[in-house]
Amino acid sequence: MEALSAWSGFLGAWLLVAGPLYQGVLELREEDTDQTGADPTSPIAPPPPPSPWWWLLPPVMLVLRRRRSIAYHRTVLAVLTPQQREHRERFIQKATGWFVVAVGGSFIAVKETWELAEHNEWHPAVFVLVLVVMLALVGGNTAWQASRWSRRTGPEDIEKEQRGQPMDHRTQLPGSSHLPI
């Protein structure tokens, strides 16, 4: 019974990592970034990086990079419409929320993996190996699901769906009843 409990805790904890990552990808995918209000004739290029010589004084280099980043960020925000800024803010809040939930799940997963390793009297190297494998599985699954979604649904398909037009057979959403040919 202890073994079942240890394995259940281990699997449940890793699902608490995989679930928020996957849900985050799904929800953030729905947040289609609207760039229609930006002026296409005025592209905003990121500032050039400071001279590598500033790395001789790392704190100065970090301050310079931070200042340039803030200035670039303000320039980009100035070009966006209020609706785009609001949309961007919602996107950042959702991304941060799902990231925090996934990190919390990761801490629980590390603890549960350690308890499983102790229960089975694994060598610490096996514990580390299991952590690396599980992180790769969780991250790989999320990346695979996201790429699968990208191949099936493009921005034009989302627009069609919002207008009530049918999508073609190659762009069915995950979980739909029609399989691509």
pLDDT at 89 over 80: yes
**Contact (CB, 8 A) for 156 and 36:** no
The 3-state DSSP class for residue 38 equals coil
DSSP labels for 29-62?
HHS----TTS-TTS--PPPPPPPGGGGGSHHHHH
Overall average pLDDT of the 71-95 stretch: 87
- Residues 135, 153 within the same domain: yes
The 3-state DSSP class for residue 179 equals coil
Overall average pLDDT of the 46-64 stretch: 90
What is the per-residue pLDDT across 114-128, written as a single tens digit (0 to 9) for each?
Answer: 999 999 999 999 999
Residues 6+ apart with CB under 8 A from 94: 24, 27, 28, 31
Q: What per-residue confidence (pLDDT) applies to 102?
A: 92
- Residues 121, 53 within the same domain: no
Q: Is position 21 within any domain?
A: yes
Domain limits for position 166: 2-38+96-171
What is the per-residue pLDDT across 159-172, written as a single tens digit (0 to 9) for each?
Answer: 665 666 655 444 44
pLDDT at 65 over 90: yes
- Residues 71, 123 within the same domain: no
Q: What per-residue confidence (pLDDT) applies to 167?
A: 52
CA pair distance 181, 178, nearest whole angstrom: 9
- Number of domains the chain is built from: 2
- Residues 32, 103 within the same domain: yes
**What Å distances lie between residue 60 and 11, 40, 95, 175, CA to CA?**
46, 35, 30, 52
Q: How sure is the predictor about 155, in pLDDT bands with cuts at 50, 70 and 90?
A: low
How many Å from the N-terminal Cα to the C-terminal Cα in the chain? 47
pLDDT at 80 over 60: yes
- Residues 53, 109 within the same domain: no
CA pair distance 105, 41, nearest whole angstrom: 44
- Residues 31, 53 within the same domain: no
Amino acid identity at 148: R
